[in-house]
Chain A
Amino acid sequence: MTGAKTAVETAAAVRSGDRSARSVVEEALAAISSREEELHACNEVMADSARARAGAIDAAVAHGEDPGPLAGVPIALKDNLCVQGELTTCSSKILEGWRPPYTATVVERLLAAGAIPIAKTNLDEFAMGSSTENSAFGPTRNPHDMTRVPGGSSGGSAAAVSAGYVPLALGSDTGGSIRQPAAFCGVVGVKPTYGRVSRYGLIAFASSLDQIGPFATTVDDAALLLETIWGPDQMDSTSIPSQPDPIGAGSDVSGLRIGIIEELTDLEGIAPEVRASVERAASGLEGSGAHIERVSIPSCAYGLSAYYLIAPAEASSNLARYDGVRYGLRVDGADVAEMNAKTRAAGFGAEVKRRIMLGTYALSAGYYDAYYGQAQKVRTLIIGDFAQAYERFDVLLSPTAPTEAFKIGAKTADPLAMYMSDICTIPTNLAGHAAMSVPFGTGAEGLPIGVQVLAPALGESVMFTVARAVEGLR
């Protein structure tokens, strides 16, 4: 870890004129240069546009203007977020050469707040994976151990923050793709309530589960970033129409009722150090005045199965548009159908193809009820079980991931083992709730472990309070 300043500190320094945005950007570019060759966290470094923006921010400050709450803060963007005119790849060959003619809502909001997008980060192709090994451009490595994965799918963003390139990054979380890499890389990662952050400009994997969220080194930085990007957006029909209340700066957990989810903590396959970290966090919180109890959410056990029907089903439809007709890769064929098929065969990687096939099958006539329909019922059960739990608890705790970061290549031959690394994070996506991972403790190999704080829909404020308290226990 570097001694880099937090986003809160950097923004304050730039706004007051104590530091120039140019120097902040140059420092970030230098950090990227020093480690990027070995890490491969970035698909694209936007040095020119970052320098230009930094110059504009410095000029604004010199004119006595306030560039905004993220003034001069460099930020990395997962490469499934559209930025007008910038290569946007989803780490897939199929989007070869595509530059979006428009910018995602979250990025517009970052720019309006004075932030400086500096890199597009690597991911598992179309966000499908848990290790960033499914990238068409090669894997990203864990800054804590070059032989290990950073987690995924937002592994590039997690690594960029963890390696000190930037204090902030955005990722997307469909089944744990922010929280699990945050845990593996020892940073804070947040999946907000579904609908809290606009998905306009986020290239879809599974629309009913995808949600954009922050990576940061501190809980406060994550809150600052989330408050910058969230809120209603008329370009996203699923965006929650109400204005969110401020997250607040509290860390007082006295009187809060906190449940430890048995099904996710006592599960076979959870490393002892991971379980111990959750328990240690819980007893720390108890020491700060919280009431701790164990709670059973039985349907959590079926989350993974339901997820691997719903997410691929939606993906099979979302990814149909990559057909070689309008943009990206085209491999010619004798007729349109052959061109479509050849393009998709050449453009998609193995995991993406696997999920498109799974999803197509799950939606097929005669199988819909047994697979997709049944999975939706499980989803309803999970929502019901969580609702019951939240009658008794303000927030819930669990591990973020079953283990610390695993070795590169360790699970690539076994998709099911790979899928298992999202078992603790998936239920939140199915329920549409909020959850975040806070670094807490280390594993047997000395790598970071994350504790997951789960909250009901729109429960970000209490979730951040507890996360801050956990952070304070370190």
Chain B
Amino acid sequence: MTTYETVIGLEVHVELATRTKLFCGCANEFGAEPNTHVCPVCLGLPGSLPVLNRTVVEFALLLGVALNFDVPPSSIFHRKNYFYPDMPKDFQVSQFDEPICVDGWIDVAGERIRIERAHMEEDTGKTTHMGGGGRIHDADYSLVDYNRAGIPLLEIVSRPDMGSAEQARGYVSELRAILATIGISDVKMEEGSMRVDANVSLRANSTDVLGTKVEIKNMNSLRSLGRAIDSEIERQSAMLDSEEVIIQETRHWDEVAGITHGMRSKEGSSDYRYFPEPDLVPVAPTDEMRKVARESVPELPAPKRERLISDWGIGSSDARVLVDDRALCAYAEAAVAAGGSGKDVTNWCTGEILGYLNEHGSTPEALILRPEGLAELVALLADDTLSRSLAKDVLEECLATPVMPREVVERRGLAQMNDEGELAALVDEVLGRNEDAIAQWKAGDEKARKKKRGFLMGELMKTSGSKGNPKVLNQLLDERLHD
């Protein structure tokens, strides 16, 4: 069997988190009653005209900085003409050969992925096919909701620089983290605010010529993106092995079946008859707008991960978990700023706290325990005031009620016993009433010894009300047993 090189390029549509739509003042809001966020402009009523939302340009400029794009002095909108009932004007206002962002790149796991362009465009409405299993060709009728019509999108088109599903996922994951960091989108693949189409082709390892590409759509998570690409690679390899011809087409990912289906081709070939949108003027960002964009981009995920790894001494996977969750990362950074050690704070954040958030469907901003509290907890642990197990108890209480860890420790008298003299007396007392156990330890084999030692340690902790410093107790116990 021949081996093939996989070539993947991705088109990522991102819904922008602006207050209003791209060309009108209607609210850009997910989940409202159908056809309530509409006006003459986004319904494309006769006589209406589009006016560009300035925030969209500002967002595109932020993207330009974050993805290392060039932003030419001016860009223009085109009309993409085709008939579809969810498109009110029967053309989509989009950018064509003069987009706002060109020639960008990002690094993903040490590999540079080039990004051809990013352009602004309007979203279409949403069609729901009623009856016939929800498919257009079998439906009894269809309903159109134009709330989504005119929602601003940025389409980010990569070069075909990825060679595996893994790398494609890495690219999308990094892109998602960057978009979240610059705050221009909710980037929720599940809700459709980030939609990824993949162009996949294979070629024999020996050639430079690109194979026929197939576009796959309808992946609504990173996981399904990976699965869809792998399934497509498998399909195309099998076809090439049996010398079948791959046709250029768009295929639909079926999440349940785990395969792609060919979509019925649109009637005729798609000639969109692009021409410059005469109702809009060229977009020429001013120097001031460019400057504001440069100064507004916060620390991006890659440098941030590097900083946390080196400043806090944490591992790269912890750094990724933190940086991918902006709110959690901000929480952790605030805790560190309040005096907590980076490594300890990270451990709590990516462990118990993340667990709590997932379990309760909560967010770091909503936690009763503020970052200062976490910093205090970490400090109590670091200076041996609290044992790890008691610290978890304290955390649990602090996540449920508005108290600071030190208050809990004091009120419940949970401070760890660290005084060696006190602990020695405790050991004397416990060993004094467990002569039998000591005798059995002395007579026993290794297994019996281990068991008896564990028993004695348990007695010690119990007697101390779980407050004895286990490290010191262990040490004292060993000394006495080996006396």
Q: Which residues of A contact B (CB under 8 A)?
A: 80-82, 88, 90, 95, 98, 100-102, 104, 199-204, 206-208, 234-238, 313-314, 316-317, 320-321, 323, 325-327, 336-337, 340, 360, 363-365, 368, 372
Beta-carbon contact of B48 and A200 below 8 Å: yes
Beta-carbon contact of B280 and A321 below 8 Å: no
0/1 interface trace, chain B 245-276, chain A, CB 8 Å (1 if under): 00000000000000000000001000101110
Q: Is B432 an interface position by the 8 A CB rule?
A: no
Q: Which 9 A-B pairs have the closest CB atoms?
A: A320-B90, A207-B278, A208-B278, A363-B273, A203-B46, A201-B47, A82-B47, A203-B47, A365-B271
Partner of A326, one of B48, B88, B91, B279: B88
Residues of chain B within 8 A of A101, CB atoms compared: 40, 45
Given A317-B81, A320-B81, A372 and B47 touching (CB < 8 A)?
no
Partner of A237, one of B51, B267, B274: B51
Given A321-B46, A326-B43, A314 and B271 touching (CB < 8 A)?
no
Beta-carbon contact of A314 and B278 below 8 Å: yes
- Please measure, in the bound complex, the distance between the C-alpha atom of A372 and the C-alpha atom of B51, giving whole angstroms: 25
- Please measure, in the bound complex, the distance between the C-alpha atom of A360 and the C-alpha atom of B90, giving whole angstroms: 13
- Please measure, in the bound complex, the distance between the C-alpha atom of A81 and the C-alpha atom of B47, giving whole angstroms: 8
Shortest B260–chain A CB gap in Å is 25
**Known A101-B45, A208-B278; further 5 A-B contacts with Cβ < 8 A:** A82-B46, A95-B46, A102-B40, A238-B49, A326-B43
Beta-carbon contact of B49 and A235 below 8 Å: yes
Residues of chain A within 8 A of B142, CB atoms compared: 336
Given A207-B278, A313-B275, A360-B273, A321 and B90 touching (CB < 8 A)?
yes
Q: Is B449 an interface position by the 8 A CB rule?
A: no
Beta-carbon contact of A200 and B47 below 8 Å: yes
Residues of chain B within 8 A of A236, CB atoms compared: 49, 51
Q: Which residue of B is nearest A314, CB measured?
A: B278
| 9 pairs, A vs B, C-beta closer than 8 Å | A88-B47, A95-B46, A204-B46, A237-B281, A317-B81, A320-B90, A363-B274, A364-B271, A365-B271
- Please measure, in the bound complex, the distance between the C-alpha atom of A203 and the C-alpha atom of B49, giving whole angstroms: 10
Given A360-B273, A364-B271, A100 and B85 touching (CB < 8 A)?
no
Partner of A323, one of B81, B90, B267: B90
Q: Is B79 an interface position by the 8 A CB rule?
A: yes
Beta-carbon contact of B51 and A235 below 8 Å: yes
Of the four ranges (under 10, 10 to 19, 20 to 34, 35 or more), the interface on chain B belongs to: 20 to 34
Residues of chain A within 8 A of B52, CB atoms compared: 237
Q: Which residue of B is nearest A327, CB measured?
A: B45
Q: Is B144 an interface position by the 8 A CB rule?
A: yes
> Which interface residue of B50, B52, B79 has the most chain A CB atoms within 10 A?
B79
Partner of B81, one of A202, A325, A363: A363
Shortest A249–chain B CB gap in Å is 33
At the interface, is chain A mostly helix, strand, loop or mixed?
Answer: loop
Beta-carbon contact of A237 and B81 below 8 Å: no
Shortest A365–chain B CB gap in Å is 5
- Please measure, in the bound complex, the distance between the C-alpha atom of A360 and the C-alpha atom of B82, giving whole angstroms: 11
Residues of chain B within 8 A of A90, CB atoms compared: 46
Residues of chain B within 8 A of A104, CB atoms compared: 47
Q: Is B89 an interface position by the 8 A CB rule?
A: yes
At the interface, is chain B mostly helix, strand, loop or mixed?
Answer: loop
Q: Is B285 an interface position by the 8 A CB rule?
A: no
Q: Which residue of A is nearest B137, CB measured?
A: A335
Q: Is B30 an interface position by the 8 A CB rule?
A: no
Residues of chain A within 8 A of B90, CB atoms compared: 320-321, 323
Residues of chain B within 8 A of A203, CB atoms compared: 46-47
Partner of A100, one of B40, B44, B144, B280: B40
Residues of chain A within 8 A of B274, CB atoms compared: 363
Partner of B49, one of A98, A199, A314, A363: A199
Q: Which residue of A is nearest B270, CB measured?
A: A365
Given A323-B90, A337-B267, A360-B273, A238 and B43 touching (CB < 8 A)?
no
Q: Is B455 an interface position by the 8 A CB rule?
A: no
Residues of chain B within 8 A of A88, CB atoms compared: 46-47
0/1 interface trace, chain B 29-55, chain A, CB 8 Å (1 if under): 000000000001001111111111000
Residues of chain B within 8 A of A80, CB atoms compared: 47
> Which interface residue of B52, B144, B278 has the most chain A CB atoms within 10 A?
B278
0/1 interface trace, chain B 442-460, chain A, CB 8 Å (1 if under): 0000000000000000000
0/1 interface trace, chain B 73-89, chain A, CB 8 Å (1 if under): 00000010101010011
Beta-carbon contact of A320 and B91 below 8 Å: yes
- Please measure, in the bound complex, the distance between the C-alpha atom of A100 and the C-alpha atom of B275, giving whole angstroms: 28
Residues of chain A within 8 A of B85, CB atoms compared: 323, 325, 336
Beta-carbon contact of A237 and B83 below 8 Å: no
Partner of A364, one of B43, B49, B273: B273
Residues of chain B within 8 A of A313, CB atoms compared: 275
Partner of B275, one of A82, A202, A372: A372
Residues of chain A within 8 A of B271, CB atoms compared: 364-365
Given A100-B40, A317-B81, A204 and B47 touching (CB < 8 A)?
yes
Shortest B48–chain A CB gap in Å is 7
Shortest B471–chain A CB gap in Å is 72
Q: Which residue of B is nearest A313, CB measured?
A: B275
Partner of A321, one of B89, B144, B275, B281: B89
Residues of chain B within 8 A of A360, CB atoms compared: 273
Shortest A308–chain B CB gap in Å is 16
> Which interface residue of B46, B83, B274 has the most chain A CB atoms within 10 A?
B46
Beta-carbon contact of A234 and B51 below 8 Å: yes
- Please measure, in the bound complex, the distance between the C-alpha atom of A200 and the C-alpha atom of B52, giving whole angstroms: 14
- Please measure, in the bound complex, the distance between the C-alpha atom of A225 and the C-alpha atom of B223, giving whole angstroms: 64
Q: Which residue of A is nearest B280, CB measured?
A: A237
Q: Which residue of B is nearest A202, CB measured?
A: B47
Given A237-B281, A364-B271, A317 and B43 touching (CB < 8 A)?
no
Beta-carbon contact of B89 and A320 below 8 Å: yes
Residues of chain B within 8 A of A326, CB atoms compared: 43, 88
Residues of chain B within 8 A of A314, CB atoms compared: 275, 278
Shortest A140–chain B CB gap in Å is 21
- Please measure, in the bound complex, the distance between the C-alpha atom of A104 and the C-alpha atom of B40, giving whole angstroms: 11
Shortest A264–chain B CB gap in Å is 25
Within B92-137, the residues touching A (CB, 8 Å) are: none
Partner of A317, one of B49, B275, B280: B275
- Please measure, in the bound complex, the distance between the C-alpha atom of A69 and the C-alpha atom of B45, giving whole angstroms: 31
- Please measure, in the bound complex, the distance between the C-alpha atom of A317 and the C-alpha atom of B278, giving whole angstroms: 11
Residues of chain A within 8 A of B278, CB atoms compared: 206-208, 238, 314
Beta-carbon contact of A363 and B281 below 8 Å: no
Shortest B409–chain A CB gap in Å is 62
Given A100-B47, A202-B47, A325 and B144 touching (CB < 8 A)?
yes
Beta-carbon contact of A317 and B46 below 8 Å: no
Residues of chain B within 8 A of A372, CB atoms compared: 275
